[in-house]
Amino acid sequence: MNESLKNKVVLITGATSGIGKSSALAFAAAGSKVIVSGRREPEGQAVVDEIKTAGGEATFVKADVAREADITNLLDRTLATYDRLDVAFNNAGVEFTGPMTEITEADFQRVFAINVWGVLASMKHEIPIMLRQGGGVIINTSSIAGKIGMADNSVYIASKHAVEGLTKAAAIEYAAKGIRVNAVAPGGVETDMLTRFTGGGNEEAIASLRSLHPVQRIGRPEEIAHPVLFLASDAASFITGTSLPVDGGFLAQ
């Protein structure tokens, strides 16, 4: 399956930690050339160093996905470095917790700027490159929160529902032109986001989150990365417009 990812140019946003970082390591191990992108340069450079130490190929490009100018620069740098773009994993995102009655306009704008505009603007600039090449693969990071409601998470829930909608819309718009667009919808995963979400890793909050998953545990970042590699690979050549839950059974309940 991963044989088809060898020498592919793969761009990952939010790759300085968590699911993005784990995916960057997994793509590099499969022989892909990885553009590791994020806002934090030292962390991004550390991911690149880890890949290179293991014999892989990667480059860090700093970008805030809420800023379109950063995205155009990111894609310019991708082309200048590797001359093409085969796979884009639009993964950067932020959580937001709080009752609906306390959300400010600024909270809403910030979460939507990163989680929704960040994904849309990324696709806006990735797709023309893929069209010129005759095809490509896009994977967006949604969430179980993109498929169901939950209390005290309305802005995040709405933003991830929007990612699901954008994924379907883009898939249909470009299906006949050789671009596959899918999403991955993780359940709880052990990352910095989950630590923040559980109030700094509060053991009681983590135990309660664990128990919400039928497998009675939280996922590991690599358990999301591998399904992302599958969606990016030729093994998924007939899959487009879908959002794959990777959630330890959460959504089956």
Q: How far is the CB of 192 from ligand NAD (least distance, A)?
A: 4
In the complex with ligand NAD, the residue whose CB is nearer, 5 or 63, is 63
CB burial class (10 A; 0-12, 13-18, 19+) of residue 80?
Answer: exposed
* Structure letter (DSSP) for residue 113: I
Number of chain residues interacting with ligand NAD (CB under 6 A): 27
Span near ligand NAD by CB under 6 A; candidates 1-9, 88-96, 97-105, 126-134: 88-96
What DSSP letter does each residue of 123-160 carry, written as one string? HHHHHHHHHHHT-EEEEEE--GGGTS--TT-HHHHHHH
Span near ligand NAD by CB under 6 A; candidates 35-43, 46-54, 123-131, 170-178: 35-43
CB burial class (10 A; 0-12, 13-18, 19+) of residue 29?
Answer: middle
Of these, 94, 103, 131, 235, which contacts ligand NAD (CB under 6 A)?
94
For position 87 contacting ligand NAD by CB under 6 A, the verdict is no
Site for ligand NAD, residues 220 to 249, rule: CB under 6 A? none
Span near ligand NAD by CB under 6 A; candidates 71-79, 89-97, 98-106, 130-138: 89-97
In the complex with ligand NAD, the residue whose CB is nearer, 57 or 68, is 68
190, 220 Cβ separation under 8 angstroms: yes
For position 44 contacting ligand NAD by CB under 6 A, the verdict is no
In the complex with ligand NAD, the residue whose CB is nearer, 50 or 131, is 50
Judged by phi (left if over 0) then psi (alpha if -120 to 50, else beta), residue 223 lies in alpha
Please name the residues in contact with 89: beta carbons below 8 A apart, sequence gap of 6 or more.
Answer: 10, 11, 12, 13, 20, 23, 139, 141, 228, 232
Catalytic residue, candidates 82, 89, 117, 156: 156
Q: Is 156 a catalytic residue?
A: yes
Of these, 20, 56, 136, 245, which contacts ligand NAD (CB under 6 A)?
20
Span near ligand NAD by CB under 6 A; candidates 4-12, 51-59, 169-177, 186-194: 186-194
Please name the residues in contact with 238: beta carbons below 8 A apart, sequence gap of 6 or more.
Answer: none
Site for ligand NAD, residues 110 to 169, rule: CB under 6 A? 114, 141, 143
- Cα→Cα distances 16→32, 42, 72, 96, 223, Å: 17, 9, 19, 19, 17
What DSSP letter does each residue of 69-104 carry, written as one string? HHHHHHHHHHHHHHS---EEEE-------S-GGG--
In the complex with ligand NAD, the residue whose CB is nearer, 76 or 234, is 76
Of these, 5, 19, 228, 232, which contacts ligand NAD (CB under 6 A)?
19
Which positions lie near ligand NAD, rule CB under 6 A? 13-14, 16-20, 38-40, 64-66, 91-94, 114, 141, 143, 186, 188-189, 191-194
Enzyme catalytic residues: 156
